[in-house]
C-alpha cells in the first residue's frame, strides 16, 4: 500500500535478511514487460538487467544453501551460487 513505509525483504531461516536495495536489482527494470519479454531478456547474458537479476538469484540461492546445509548439492555447488556465497562471505 502506498504511504505505509514498507519495503521488500526476504528472510532466510531467520539468519539472513535481504531488504530494499540489498535485493540486488530494482524490480522496476521488469515493469511494463510481459512474462514473455522478461524471459527473452533473461536469455541475453550480456544484458545488464539480466546480470543483475541472475546475480540476485544466485545470492538468494546461496543464502538458502547456507540455511539447508548445502542442499540440493547440484544447485549449491553451481558456479553462480558459489560466487553468490563468496560475495556474502559464506562457505
Helix (H) or strand (E) holding 9, with range, is strand 9-12
* Packing angle of the helix pair 48-67, 79-88 (nearest 10 deg): 80
- pLDDT over 70 (residue 19): no
Where along the chain do its domains lie? 47-91
6-17 tens-digit pLDDT: 566 778 888 767
Model-level pTM greater than 0.85? no
**Which is more confident, 1 or 89?**
89
Q: Which residue has the cell 522496476?
A: 28
Tens-digit pLDDT profile for residues 50-91? 888 898 899 889 999 999 999 999 999 999 999 999 988 887
Amino acid at each position: 500500500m502506498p504511504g505505509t513505509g514498507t519495503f521488500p525483504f526476504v528472510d532466510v531461516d531467520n539468519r539472513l535478511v535481504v531488504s530494499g536495495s540489498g535485493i540486488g536489482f530494482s524490480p522496476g527494470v521488469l515493469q511494463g514487460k510481459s512474462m514473455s519479454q522478461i524471459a527473452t531478456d533473461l536469455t541475453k547474458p550480456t544484458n545488464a538487467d539480466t546480470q543483475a537479476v541472475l546475480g540476485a538469484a544466485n545470492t538468494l540461492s546461496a543464502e538458502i544453501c547456507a540455511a539447508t546445509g548445502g542442499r540440493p548439492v547440484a544447485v549449491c555447488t553451481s558456479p553462480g551460487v558459489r560466487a553468490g556465497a563468496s560475495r556474502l562471505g559464506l562457505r
